[in-house]
Amino acid sequence: MNAPSTMTSAVRPATAAERAARAEANGGEPTLEFAERTPYDAYVHAGTLHTLQQTLSKDPGEMSFLMISQVMELYFGLVRFELRETQRLLGEDDVYGALAPLRRCALHLDGLNAAWQTLRWMTPADFNKFRNLLGEGSGFQSAMYRHLEFLLGLKTASLVRPFKRQDDVYHDLLASLNGPSLWDDVIALLARQGHDIPAELLTRDFAEEHEAHPAVEAAWVAVYAEDTPGNLLRQLGEALTEVAERFDVWRHKHLMAVARTMGAKVGSGGSNGYAWLQRSMARTVFPELWSARTHM
């Protein structure tokens, strides 16, 4: 028999009655003695998290840059989790259930966007104090951010190439690239709900970026025409709009952060920096959901 892990032994489920009994025994004070590490640390792994900030320079500003980058990576993973949960529920035709992870996703994106605020102090001179030490390291190489783009329908097959030497990461990204995006799943849902969606949109190569189609646009015009409390597809459309809008805010804030700290300098990852990000921002998330508004 395997010995119980520290996680299992330190985090023990407790009932409301047990919590009440503990509070009475403690006289209302918090518990201060534990047989092992605190249950909080066993659950959150805070001790591990705080060992991951390994700066390359002696400049104190680098800590902000590194830690906020790590915070953003955690948010990327959280948003990916919510988008995948949304896909699962839509695949089961549970439109009502899918609204909750989408709404959480929009709030997570608010938190992600707020993280840019703490880097607004950084000027080009501040960034230059440690930038050279980053070598070719660039946010462009974030696998988790690439997952978000793929899940949101922004597919570019060449962007998985940097991860070829990281086998697990590479194959996970290939699965996201080749699988349906959230928008593909929404289009399939519209078809199952009786909207006239061409078959080729449902069986296309999902590794190719979706091109806006008038049939999808017409479906959303029809959905929004029924303005009733029970119209779950309309609620879905609004929840998707919130996610797309907040994702665009993140892209814009990223662009502004680059302009603030680098101007038009060449990017660390080999791109032309600001200009490359500008071109990337021109790609629209959930395009027909926006274009349909012209016809409503």
Cα dihedral: 121, 122, 124, 125 (round 10): 80
Per-residue CA distances from 139 to 70, 105, 143, 269 (Å): 11, 21, 9, 8
User: Which parts are annotated binding residues for heme?
Assistant: 254
Cα dihedral: 197, 200, 203, 204 (round 10): -120
User: Which parts are annotated binding residues?
Assistant: 131, 254
Instruction: Using alpha carbons, select from 74, 257, 227, 77 the residue that is nearest to residue 151.
Output: 77
DSSP class of 137: -
Token duo for residue 37 = 């590490």
The single-letter code of the amino acid at 293 is R
User: Which parts are annotated binding residues for substrate?
Assistant: 131
Half-sphere exposure of 18 (CA within 13 A, CB side): 5
